[in-house]
Structure 1
Amino acid sequence: MSSVPPPDRSDDEPSSLSDEQLESFLREAAEGGGASAPKEPSARARMVARRLREQEEPTPWRAPQRATKGAGRPRRRRIGTVVGVLVLAAVAVVAVRPSLVLDRLPGGDGASETTPLAAETARPTGAPGEPAESERATREHPFRGSPAERWAEGADAIEVPKAKALSGMSEDDVAFALRRTKELLVAANLDPAVLRGERPDEALAVLDPKQPELLPKLRRSLSDPDEGHDPLRLFTRFDPSETRLAGDVVKVRGRMTLAAGEPGVVKVDADYTFVYPLVRTGEDDGPVARTIIRRVLTLTLNDPAKWNVTEGKLLVEKYFSEYGNTDCDVYDGYLHPGFPDDGPGGARPTGPPTDPYDRSRPLTGSGSEGCGQVTRT
């Protein structure tokens, strides 16, 4: 079987203008001035950029390749840790339609502040602008004042690209890998039971038990979490005695792409940001907090005829996470959001200010920036 190489990618290609950037530019131009300074969130609304340190990441792993007749002993293959920007999609060059510009001007007949954004097809070139409506979120409008107000909702926001035969795998095989990747993302980050702290059994069922250490480490993190075994690296969980979702909507933005690996290996790269509106448990009235989680991961489907893997299961090549608005240095297996009316408390932020909505930043796990301050939630 011949392998199909991934499309050529070049960092020198010109970048397209994202919807968020275009909207921000036009709004500022119409108002006759620059964007206002970002609002300072509450003291506890901190950014925990607890990126997986190299020694804490799942070792980038390839299953042992099966021996072929006359080939001698199979040898274990490993992939070195990727350092630097992960190029997940080719950057397209597009022309801006004049009608699009006119539609975005205030008073036009086109897109408004609540018009849903088009699906993300490439890495954005900058952070989204500040929404024109800067009022505080309410239980009736939990995404008010957030770029996520225009994002798609829930599982429907995770769009699976068109499958194609790749790296010796059939179109049906590739479609299966894409579908299972979405199932993992949904089960780990959108399942209501998992969000309230229950075991993510459906997510765990996607993963190959033959991958050394991964499943035992994940199960240990769920039963006995600590700094070295933190389930939040892959699963989103809130303490039900402390917080609950404000409604049943989670906003999601990101993209999924395909790449060819070695013969008999197809890779699926996923980069998604999830925005969770939250209220305190037991309160019928009170403020709304938002916690923002970004996850970047690469999963692979390996041909069991060529590799020593479990048929129908996915391998995890790498995964990185970043959390916006949760307490620093707490490793009890739950996210702990700060609310607008919280007083001072918790660990002091030590990392740089970070915009959790900025999806143009690479997330590679090449080092930890510590616990910093979010510029907005």
Structure 2
Amino acid sequence: MAGGADPPDGPPDGTPDGTPEGLPGRDEDQDRPVVFDESFIRAARLQELSAHERMGDDTPAVRRRPGAEANDPGPVPDLDAAYEYAYDLHHRHHWRSSRRRSRGRRRRAGAARHAIGSRVGALILVLLVATVFAVAIHLGSRYPYQPPPDARAAPLRVTLVALAPTGPVSGGRPADLFARSPAAQYRPGAAGITLPPVRRTAHFTEGQVMAALDTAKAFLVRSALDPDTVTGGSTRPVRLLVDPDQFTQFDRSVESPSADGRHATSGWLIRFDPARVALADPGIRVRGTLQAAEASADVLEVTADHTYTYALRPAGPDAGPDAARDRASLFTVRREVRFHFDRDDLRMRRAELVTSHVQAGPVDCAADLSGALRPLLAGERPTSTTPPTADPFAGTPAAATPLCATLPTGAAPPQPQGRGATEP
């Protein structure tokens, strides 16, 4: 191989020895071009076979050149391996270059496809938004928005029926009276209000149904079984379980009751006139049923139908222990209450009272049941068993007309015979 030569115009500009500026210490031979002249080619000891010659499986990649033995300085170790190594390096370099070019083409193609896909996606999104907007305008023009109905609780509707006995009221000891009456098998207090099997409905879970039944039972216990409420005590425990939309109606019914079908105290709770009667036995007997069903997809309805039996005695300073022992009498209330619960009521544990039907006796047929109840006690007789006259031209509300019915003989305990009997 011949050495390098300077260009015809001399060394390149830069340092005096021809080294380019900025590259100090660089060897001059490293910057000169490599020239393969004829003498170098003739001196080569190896010759690469042609493509046709290399087609054989066992054919070496190179062969010795003819006449190279004279100038052969010695054996060449593993020439085929050296050539194949160089050949592999060349092909590996070519493969890597091709792979980089292919990768670049794929990257450019992917970027182009991404750009096209982004444009198509944006166009589809615009069309979709326009379609939805057009449908909304169409529906709005054909079906204009209607505000939801007022969700306020409706007023409670109350029906009161007085039950008048046909003779004097039986009296005696509370235990004896209960034993001789249909309430003999009734359970006292809250234990007498049993819950039905709880099952989910189409739109309410089992837990929500259970919450409605629990709230209804709590209302019944506080409004008809609590001795303090029954004898004229505070009504706040009952009020806390009422829907706030019915507070005004509840307060007026308690403070200023009226037999107008809307504002009767007995529609909300059972209360006796504390100046006239007292409980002879705090264990109020009760039996009945609770049922839960859907009134709508948003309202759960619970119907409570129970019969309560109270042992009463005269109130006052002259009513001593003997009055409780020998002068007690039973008073029965049949009460059917229908509750509604929306999801807010279920969450807040409160109830909306829809209807309340009350039958109570023994009372006088002309008795006013809208306020505190005034039952007939042991030995007393009704002054009238005929309902009062109702004038259709009077202009009073139809719901204010008193209702009266006869208390069946079997609904009251029979008069005891012999010692301990109460004289009429």
* Corresponding residue for residue 303 of structure 1: 343
Report the alpha carbon displacement of residue 190 of structure 1 after superposing the two structures with TM: 0.7
> Out of 310, 314, 332, which is 1:292 matched to?
332
- On the 8 A contact 2:285/2:308 being kept in 1, the answer is yes
> Out of 273, 278, 283, which is 2:307 matched to?
273
> Out of 351, 359, 369, which is 1:322 matched to?
359
Report the alpha carbon displacement of residue 369 of structure 1 after superposing the two structures with TM: 7.3
Residues 258-315 of structure 1 show CA distances to partners (whole Å, capped at 9, x for unaligned) of: 11121122111110010001011241224222111111111122124xx9x9843222
Matches within 5 A, 1:1-377: 72-76=146-150, 137-210=172-245, 214-228=246-260, 229-281=263-315, 282=317, 283-284=319-320, 285-286=322-323, 287-304=327-344, 311-327=348-364, 328-330=366-368, 333-342=371-380, 346=383, 348-351=384-387, 370-376=403-409, 377=412
- On the 8 A contact 1:167/1:262 being kept in 2, the answer is no
- Return closer, same or farther for 1:241/1:368 CA change in 2, 3 Å cut-off: closer
- On the 8 A contact 1:234/1:321 being kept in 2, the answer is no
- Return closer, same or farther for 1:160/1:249 CA change in 2, 3 Å cut-off: same
- Return closer, same or farther for 1:175/1:151 CA change in 2, 3 Å cut-off: same
TM-score (norm 1): 0.56
Unaligned runs of 5+ in 2: 1-143, 158-169, 389-397, 413-424
Residues 176-211 of structure 1 show CA distances to partners (whole Å, capped at 9, x for unaligned) of: 10000000000100111111112322222112113x
| CA distance in 2: counterparts of 1:193 and 1:231, whole angstroms | 15
Report the alpha carbon displacement of residue 76 of structure 1 after superposing the two structures with TM: 4.3
The structure whose Rg is larger is: 2
Report the alpha carbon displacement of residue 158 of structure 1 after superposing the two structures with TM: 0.3
Amino acid at match of 2:254: L
Residues 217-253 of structure 1 show CA distances to partners (whole Å, capped at 9, x for unaligned) of: 2211211223333201221111222111112111111
TM-score (norm 2): 0.50
- On the 8 A contact 2:174/2:329 being kept in 1, the answer is no
Amino acid at match of 1:297: V
Residues 19-38 of structure 1 show CA distances to partners (whole Å, capped at 9, x for unaligned) of: xxxxxxxxxxxxxxxxxxxx
| CA distance in 1: counterparts of 2:174 and 2:349, whole angstroms | 41
- Return closer, same or farther for 1:164/1:243 CA change in 2, 3 Å cut-off: same
Unaligned runs of 5+ in 1: 1-69, 83-134, 353-364
Amino acid at match of 1:292: T
Larger RCO: 1 or 2 (CA < 8 Å, sep 6+):
1
* More off after superposition, 327-336 vs 291-300: 327-336
How many residues are treated as equivalent by the alignment? 235
Amino acid at match of 2:385: P
User: Which ranges of 4 or more aligned residues in structure 1 deviate by more than 6 Å?
Assistant: 365-369
- What SS is found at the alignment partner of 2:296? coil
Residues 126-154 of structure 1 show CA distances to partners (whole Å, capped at 9, x for unaligned) of: xxxxxxxxx96314433132110121221
Percentage of identical aligned residues:
23
- What SS is found at the alignment partner of 2:307? strand
- Return closer, same or farther for 1:299/1:314 CA change in 2, 3 Å cut-off: same
Which is richer in helix? Answer: 2
- On the 8 A contact 1:288/1:339 being kept in 2, the answer is yes
- On the 8 A contact 1:289/1:337 being kept in 2, the answer is no
- Return closer, same or farther for 1:154/1:312 CA change in 2, 3 Å cut-off: closer
Structural RMSD (CA): 3.2
